[in-house]
Amino acid sequence: ANTCQRIGFYAQTDQNVCAGLPAEIMKACLLLGSNLGDREALLSQARSRIALDCGQVIKVSKIYETAPWGFEADTPFLNQAILIDTAHTSQELLSHCLRIEVLLGRERPANLECTYTSRCIDIDILFYEEEVCQTPQLTLPHPRLHLRTFALEPLSEVAPTWKHPILDFTAGEMIKNLGF
């Protein structure tokens, strides 16, 4: 079932979208990743486009160099989390992020079973306030966030007090649960 809730603000269920217009400016955390091309320049370009198209950038983590997750690649990823204030709904934010990926050269494989590949840019929504959402296009919080130190470490820098609305752990607590 496609369901969405914004815990602490309002709850809504809709078959097609996570939420209507946000009741206010919302905080969202995005994870940027790149392991092709000029990785640092691509992260910088993504941050600039996000500031133009998605909302005000509030905090930026340091850049982490990490091994690919779920596949083998010659080049490690650079990852960075950014916290933004946005007036967009979570679905609108996703559309903007996907468009920015395309503008920066992202090509998705035709084989949808091949989900983990090298890429020039990847922009994931880690969270959108405390919204819990599951549609064919978007799952919030990110469904594998609690398993990925490459996402949790930068997240803990930009939103150290944010708690996963389902697991009820901060990023730091989730890192400890992974044994790091």
pLDDT at 15 over 60: no
pLDDT tens digits, 37-48: 999 999 999 999
Structure-block tokens of residue 156: 């803990």
Q: Is the pLDDT of residue 178 over 70?
A: yes
User: Residue 42: which of 121, 118, 125 has the closest Cα?
Assistant: 121
Average pLDDT of the segment spanning 158-172: 95
pLDDT band at 2 (very low <50, low <70, confident <90, very high): low
Quote the pLDDT of residue 108: 75
* Burial call 166-179: b when 16+ CB within 10 Å, e when fewer: eeebbbeebbeeee
Distance, first Cα to last Cα, the chain: 35
pLDDT band, very low/low/confident/very high, at 143 (cuts 50, 70, 90): confident
Judged against a pLDDT cut of 60, whether residue 16 lies above it is answered with no
> Which tops the pLDDT comparison, 72 or 164?
164
Least confident of 13-17, 62-66, 121-125, 168-172: 13-17
Is the confidence at residue 8, as pLDDT, over 50? no
Q: Check whether 101 has a pLDDT greater than 50.
A: yes
pLDDT at 114: 56
Q: Select from 96, 136, 130, 105 the least CA-distant residue to 5.
A: 130
pTM of the entire predicted model: 0.84
Task: Return the number of other C-beta atoms located less than 10 Å from residue 16's C-beta.
Answer: 9
Averaged over 119-130, what is the pLDDT?
Answer: 93
